[in-house]
Amino acid sequence: MSERNQLTDPKSAASSERPVSPAVDIFEDATGITVLADMPGVSRERLDVKLDGDTLSIEGRVELDAPAQMRALFAELSVPRFRRTFTLSRELDAGRIEANLKDGILTLQVPKLAHAQPRRIEVTAG
């Protein structure tokens, strides 16, 4: 049974393993799309939110304040990196994304472009 893993062995090399995809909730209302991603153990300095064209990527590195001499007994979360990418559709205003990280939850809000928002059109009579 392996007794060391990257999350509890501070000396191990930075991720040779594939990052884990964080669980997300995504919903859309009239004003835009909201994405919530579970990224426990990720602080602001270890979080990367990148926009490349219409591809949005979120990446976070987990850091535990574990004592140096700790060895793992078992680990359900064994890869210390989260990563997930999304393709934003055309009616979203990618330039106005808002990101917030609190207690390990990353919240992204992407508004729709002004002209794509549902509008009520006034009908004039006569």
Partner 1 sequence: MLEIMHTRPQSLFDQLDAMQRLLSRSFGGEGAPGGIRSVAYGAFPEINVGRTPDSVEVFAFAPGIDASSIDVTIERNVLKISGERAAAVPPRDAKAQVYANERPAGRFSRAVSLPDDVDPMRVEARYRDGVLRISVALSAAAQPQRIAVR
Rounded Cα–Cα distance for residues 122 and 126 (Å): 13
Q: Are 92 and 33 in contact (CB under 8 A)?
A: yes
Q: Least distance from C-beta 124 to partner 1, angstroms? A: 27
Rounded Cα–Cα distance for residues 97 and 110 (Å): 5
Q: Which is nearer to partner 1, 7 or 58 (CB)?
A: 7
Write the DSSP string, 3-14.
---TTT-TTSPS
Q: Least distance from C-beta 108 to partner 1, angstroms? A: 12
Query: Which of 10, 15, 28, 50 touches partner 1 (CB under 8 A)?
Result: 28
Query: Which of 10, 50, 64, 85 touches partner 1 (CB under 8 A)?
Result: 64
List interacting residues with partner 1 (CB under 8 A): 1-2, 5, 7-8, 23-30, 36, 38-43, 64-67, 69-78, 102-105
